[in-house]
Structure 1
Amino acid sequence: MRKIVVHMSVSLDGFFEGPDRDIGWHRVDDELHTFVNEQLSGMSAFLFGRVTHELMADFWPTADRDPEISAPMREFAGIYRRMPRIVFSRTLEEAEWATSVRHEVHPEDIRALQRQPGGDMTVGGADLIRTFRRHDLIDEYRLYVNPVLLGRGRQLFDGADTPSDLRLVETRTFGNGVVLLRHEVAR
């Protein structure tokens, strides 16, 4: 059965974005981007909230036309274009090619997606991650902890109403100081 995996960068104090949606503190260098590309290239779908979808759709479809971008960014643009996307939004009615829109998260529909053949799926967007977590739909967390303390912003797991038992399955330290903490949900 396909897993649903969270891939998110967070600060050491648990924020995924700073004030005014700032993510300029994310330390994504070529080593880290290459690793993330390897992880995502085997996935079968991106599951996005509307805000994450719009941020991604504003840049990645044509990013590799810019001669100044790095090779890992160029590679990710191709991964983004070929990967099917499902956007969960109450307001969005339609989206560009390779993207379907769903207005609600129905756990039985997500579990049916998981039973289909193919690679794991990655979920992105803090609100969508909270919703998936509330429905116990997340199988694994891959958090890229950046060596920075923000002190304020938006926390990834604020408002969680129940604890989740996790099992650490991998750690990796990158040259830029980012540490991957990979946890599976203990079921």
Structure 2
Amino acid sequence: MGKVIVMSSVSVDGFMEGPGRSLAWHMVDDELHTHFNGVLRDAGAFMSGRVGYELEAEVWPDADADPGAPAPVADFARMWREKPKYVFSRTLSEAGWNTTIVREVDPGHIAGLKDRHGDLYLGGTDLTGAFLRQGLVDELRLYVHPVLVGGGRRQFLDEGGLRPLTLAEHRVFGNGVMLLRYAFPSD
């Protein structure tokens, strides 16, 4: 059975977006993007909320059509189109590019997706919170960017209280971004 893995870039002060939804502070260079692609190539499916999906759908469907696109960007664009995607939304009426709309977070459905696809990569603050509150997250992959954003949207909101984590991996990239990979201890 696969795992539900939260993979997110965050600032040192805990923001995943800056003011006005800015991601300009993200320090994704070729080394880091190539790493992301290597991790996500083995993903069974991507899961996101509506806002995240709509942002992705503005960029990835044809990002590789630009002859000037860096190789890791073009590689991810192809991967994004091909991978199964699940967008959690009560309002979205249609979605393209191998995407299924899901109306609610149901543990039985998520278990079935893990059986079907293997590892599921999850993004989005609200959706992550819903998964954490129901105990559905198996691993956190936090990419901490060496910057203080000072405002915006925090990665973690009200996730249901104190829970210990086990550090499974850490790595520092050449640009100073640090991967902290945590697992939830087995009960």
Give yes or no for TM over 0.5: yes
Corresponding residue of 1:23: 23
Q: Which amino acid aligns with 2:84?
A: P
Letter paired with 1:183: Y
Cα deviation code 1:99-127 (max 9, x no counterpart): 110111111111122223x4311001111
Q: TM-score, normalised by structure 2?
A: 0.97
Q: How many residues align?
A: 186
**Does residue 1:113 correspond to 2:118, yes or no?**
no
Shift of 1:160: 2.5
**Does residue 48 in structure 1 map to residue 48 in structure 2?**
yes
Spell out the pairing of 1:1-187 with structure 2 (5 A cutoff). 1-116=1-116, 118-187=117-186
RMSD between superposed Cα atoms in Å: 0.9
Could you report, residue by residue, the CA deviation over 1:106-163 in whole angstroms, capped at 9, with x for unpaired residues?
A: 11111122223x4311001111111111111110000000000112111111223311
Amino acid at match of 2:73: M
State the identity %: 50
Distance 1:160 1:113 in 2: 22
Give me the TM-score of the superposition, normalised by structure 1: 0.97
SS of alignment partner, residue 68 of structure 1 = coil
Q: Distance in 2 between matches of 1:112 and 1:139?
A: 15
1:54-95 CA-partner distances (Å, limit 9, x unpaired): 000111010000112110001000110110001100100211
Q: State the distance in 1 between where 2:118 and 2:71 align.
A: 24
- Per the alignment, in what secondary structure is the counterpart of residue 74 of structure 1? helix
Distance 1:97 1:52 in 2: 14
AA of the residue aligned to 2:32:
L
Distance 1:160 1:96 in 2: 30
Q: Distance in 2 between matches of 1:48 and 1:172?
A: 25
Deviates more, 1:5-14 or 1:158-167: 158-167
Provide the rounded CA distance (Å) in 2 between the counterparts of 1:94 and 1:65: 24
Secondary structure of 2:54's counterpart equals helix
Aligned counterparts of 2:33 and 2:19: Cα–Cα separation in 1: 24
State the alpha-carbon separation in 2 of the partners of residues 21 and 174 from structure 1. 25
